[in-house]
Amino acid sequence: MTATATAAARPAPKTAAPREAIKEPSMVKQKEMIAGNYEKLATAKAMGRKVASTFVPGNLNELIMCFDLVNNLPEINAIQNGLRKKSGQLIVEAEKRGQSEDVCTYVKSDLGMLAKGNIGPDGRPIPSPDVLLLSYTGCFTFMKWFELLREQYKCETVMLHVPYEGEGKVTENMRAYIVKQLREDVIPTLERVSGVKFDIDRLREYLRESARAEEDLVWTLESAKHKPSPIDAYFGGVYYIGPIFTAFRGTPDATEYYRLLRQEVQQRLDAGQGPVTPEGELSKEKYRLVVEGPPNYTSFRDFWKMFYDEGAVVVASTYTKVGGTYDLGFRHDPDHPLESLAEYCLGCYTNRNLPGRIDMIEKYLNEYEADGLLVNSIKSCNSFSAGQLLMLREIERRTGKPAAFIETDLVDPRYFSPANVKNRLESYFQMVEQKRRGAGVAAAAAVH
């Protein structure tokens, strides 16, 4: 699931006369940041820098930076390869080498890339990691994924086990367990690998920076409560979470990115404008939706366009919470650095139990005044997908709003059927219309 696209990878339009994409300063900034990180990765070995690979949920970027490690996120590479339509062949390659057709396609895209020489999405080599930081947060596959990578790289691997919020709450035992692992295992390993001594004040500084960016991110996401919404919180949201979910949380660059983003969104709000999309601005907001589940990346733009064509805006999504649930109030806290990292990991969306996930969606539907829920169920991802049909029923029961279900995959083009998805969406919008008419009739009847 997890992960984010980036402005750098916004796919080129397919049509002969592409519409001029709107390039806002925040987009330019993000593009530079992403390119910068790939540059760091490509030159890491030459520059004598050590590389850590890790996951988006439970991503300890601030800690990684304390050891001057360059952060490589395999999920992001898979997404970037998906957006560039390269993931399909990588997945086939991994399957040829013994991976099952049934398992997560992020893993297979990554293993396929490795098998083919580890050339990154930008065409430059991805260095072998010096350490695999296995933040085992919210997904069983993570553990196997890094065991598979460890088998190839034979490098140091450190596990951070984040307990699941089975009872819908964080306990002292969970927090203490994570902090102890950080102290006793993760930090000493990173010190050993990097040769850099841990400095907790340095960590505090990064966390302070993170919290600043987090404020602006939350403001941006919540701007979708306005009508019309100035943002799309799913397709657009994927870009907005880019810096904070990846190698930039805790950097002044990220803070600057979110400051720029906030300014831009504020301007759109003031002007009463809708979201920016690759097709241009969405000027007439017809439907407001909440989306559960990750997007499809191999046909990302086509998928988005299906919404654009119908005037549908996603006002809240759960995917933008996989790398942290900041909108529920969490902020990294420099006064309690390790505890705060523990809280952060525990709160990531897929580490929350199913009833908690349903509560979040219900809250979004109400607070963002959405017309209904759309579930994009991802074949790859049991962490997200197992239980989504019950979630859908529960949401319909609790809110009375229509919900619909589509099935795609993250980065396996074989599981994106545009005709099916489009049909499903069209019938869903008809359902929303009917519901509205029904409500209108009921309201009229109440008046007469």
Site residues, another protein (CB under 8 A): 97-100, 102-104, 107, 136, 139-141, 143-145, 147-148, 150-151, 154, 157, 159, 161, 163-164, 166-167, 171, 173-174, 176-177, 180-181, 184-185, 353-358, 377, 379, 382-383, 385-390, 394, 407
List the structure tokens of 209.
């920076």
Query: Does 246 participate in binding ligand SF4 (rule CB under 6 A)?
Result: no
Distance between CA atoms of 105 and 416, rounded to whole angstroms? 13
List the structure tokens of 292.
């559960």
In the complex, residue closest to ligand SF4 by CB? 381
- Single out the residue of 64, 133, 217, 381 in contact with ligand SF4 (rule: CB under 6 A): 381
Touching ligand SF4, residues 322-341 (CB under 6 A): none
Q: Which is nearer to ligand SF4, 153 or 319 (CB)?
A: 319
Nearest distance from C-beta of residue 273 to ligand SF4, angstroms: 33
Q: DSSP assignment, residue 184?
A: I
List the structure tokens of 213.
């960016």
Q: Which is nearer to ligand SF4, 255 or 376 (CB)?
A: 376
- HEC string for 124-171: CECCCCCEEEEEECCCCHHHHHHHHHHHHHCCEEEEEECCCECCCCCC
Distance between CA atoms of 101 and 381, rounded to whole angstroms? 13
Helix (H) or strand (E) holding 316: strand 312-317
Q: Which is nearer to another protein, 48 or 98 (CB)?
A: 98
Q: Which is nearer to another protein, 299 or 385 (CB)?
A: 385
Q: Which range, of 137-145, 159-167, 200-208, 419-427, touches ligand SF4 by CB under 6 A?
A: 137-145
Nearest distance from C-beta of residue 143 to another protein, angstroms: 6
Give which of ligand SF4, another protein, none residue 1 binds (C-beta under 5 to 8 Å, depending on kind). Answer: ligand SF4
Q: Which is nearer to another protein, 286 or 398 (CB)?
A: 398
CB 169 within 8 A of CB 149: no
Helix (H) or strand (E) holding 68: none
Nearest distance from C-beta of residue 355 to another protein, angstroms: 5
Residue type, 168: G
Give which of another protein, ligand SF4, none residue 137 binds (C-beta under 5 to 8 Å, depending on kind). Answer: none
Residue 392 CA, distance from chain mean position? 21
Q: DSSP assignment, residue 435?
A: H
Give which of ligand SF4, another protein, none residue 188 binds (C-beta under 5 to 8 Å, depending on kind). Answer: none
Helix (H) or strand (E) holding 299: none
Instruction: List, in order, residues 6 or more apart from 205 with CB less than 8 Å away.
Output: 334
Distance between CA atoms of 56 and 190, rounded to whole angstroms? 18
Strand partners, 403: 373
Q: Strands of 268-311 (E only): list them.
A: 276-277, 280-281, 287-292
Go through the chain and tell me how many residues it has.
448
- Single out the residue of 141, 181, 210, 277 in contact with ligand SF4 (rule: CB under 6 A): 141
Q: Which is nearer to another protein, 20 or 102 (CB)?
A: 102
List the structure tokens of 158.
């450190």
Give which of ligand SF4, another protein, none residue 180 binds (C-beta under 5 to 8 Å, depending on kind). Answer: another protein
Query: Does 318 participate in binding ligand SF4 (rule CB under 6 A)?
Result: no
Nearest distance from C-beta of residue 46 to another protein, angstroms: 27
Q: Which is nearer to another protein, 20 or 151 (CB)?
A: 151
Chain residues that interact with ligand SF4, rule: CB under 6 A = 1-2, 104, 106, 139, 141-142, 380-381, 383-384, 410
